[in-house]
Amino acid sequence: MHRGLRFPTGLVSFGGRVRILGANRRLDTANRESRGYRELVNTLFSGSSVACRTKSRTEPLEGKDMDVAGRVCIVTGGANGIGRAICEKFIASGAAHVVVADLDGTAASRTAEDIGATAVTCDVACESEVADLIHGTFVQHGRVDVVVSNAGVTAKGGVEVPDEQWQWLWQVNLMAHVYAARAALPIMQGQGEGYLVQVASAAGILTEVGSAPYSVTKHAAVSLAEWLSIQYRRQGIRVSCLCPAGVATDFLDLDDPIHQFLHFSSKTTAEVADSVLEAMHEERFLILPHPEVGEFFAFKGEQYDRWLHNFSKLPEKIARKQRQEERVS
C-alpha cells in the first residue's frame, strides 16, 4: 500500500463520489490516486452506484445455477412448518436423498414417510448430534450437497428475560448453525462444492420489538451467514440466508399483537419454500419472501436514525392496542 495511506474508518457515497470518514483520515491528491486506495474502493463497491474515479475491471458475480436434482440434502427442523415445506420441495425437485432432522423424532418419521425421505432425531443445540447427523449422511450417501439449518425458537421479553432462556435461544438460533457449518464444510471443501442455507428471520435484519433474545440471536445468525459467504464463496460453497416475516405456522401466536400484525401479510410455508428454491437456483444470498422486508431493510440502511425513530413507536402502539382490547373484554 502507498506510503502514508491510512486505512479509512468508513466509506460513504455523496453524489456518486466516495468520501472518507474519520478523524485525521484526510488523504492528499497523491494518496487518493494510489493503487491501494483504488483497489480498496473498487473491491468494496464493485457493481454498486459508487464508482472510483479511475476505471477498473470488475468481476461478474459467479453462479452455476444451483439445481437440487440429484443432490443429497439435510434439513434441520424438517418435520413441520418451513422445514417440512423445504423437504417437500427438494423431493419434488428431484433431490437424490433428503434427510428430515428434528428434535421430535416421531414427527420427523411421519414427514419422512409421507414424502419418501429419511428421518433422524437430532437436537441441534447439541454439537455431537449435529455432527453425527451430517457425518452419518456422508457415510451413507457418499456426499452432502445441501444443509438447511432451519430449527429455531423464541421467547418473549427484553433484557429481563432470564439467562437460561437467552442461552437456549443462543444455542438453537445461532450455535446450531455454527455446528452444522463446522461439520459440513470439510465435506463440502473435499467435494469442491456445497450449499448452506441459514434460516434466520426478518428480525435478523430489522428487529422483533417483542423479543430481545430473538432479535439478537437472529442478527447473529445473519452475521454468521454473511461471514460464511465471504469466506467460502471462492471455494465453491454457496450460502443463502432466509429472512421471512410472518409465516402461517404454529410459530405465529395470534394472541400476540405483533404476530397479529405479521399474520396479515403472512406467507404459506409452500411460498417460502419456493423462495428458497428460487434463490438457490440463482445463488442469491438474501432470501426475502416478503418484499416489504427488503424495503424496510433498504430504508434502515439509508436513514438509520429515522428507521429507529419510526420503529420506536411500535411498542407504545402495541401497548395501547392491548389496553383497548382489555377494556372491551
Return the pLDDT at 79. 96
> Does residue 156 lie within any of the structural domains?
yes
End-to-end CA distance of the chain: 69
pLDDT for res 320: 72
Specify the pLDDT at position 328. Answer: 67
Q: Do residue 41 and residue 173 come from a single domain? A: no
- The grid coordinates of residue 209 equal 420489538
CA 228-149-257 angle, to 5 degrees, is: 110
| 3-state SS class at 83 | helix
Identify the pLDDT of residue 22: 43
pTM: 0.78
The answer to whether residue 327 sits within a structural domain is no
Question: Looking at the structure, do residues 159 and 202 belong to the same domain, yes or no?
Answer: yes
Question: Within this chain, do residues 158 and 207 fall inside the same structural domain, yes or no?
Answer: yes
CA angle 318, 323, 325 (to 5 degrees): 95
Q: Is residue 160 part of a domain?
A: yes
Backbone angles phi and psi of 193, in degrees to 5: -170, 165
Query: Is 11 in the same domain as 159?
Result: no
- Structural domain harbouring 40: 1-60
Distance CA 105, CA 79 (A): 8
CB 254 within 8 A of CB 263: yes
Q: Which residue in the block uniquely carries the three cell numbers 418435520?
A: 79
Residues 51 and 142 in one domain: no
- What residues act catalytically? 214
Residues 110 and 257 in one domain: yes
Same domain membership, residue 167 and residue 55: no
pLDDT < 50 positions in the chain: 1-33, 37-38, 40-41, 43-45, 48-63, 263
Q: Are residues 151 and 21 in the same domain?
A: no
Q: Give me the number of domains the chain comprises.
A: 2
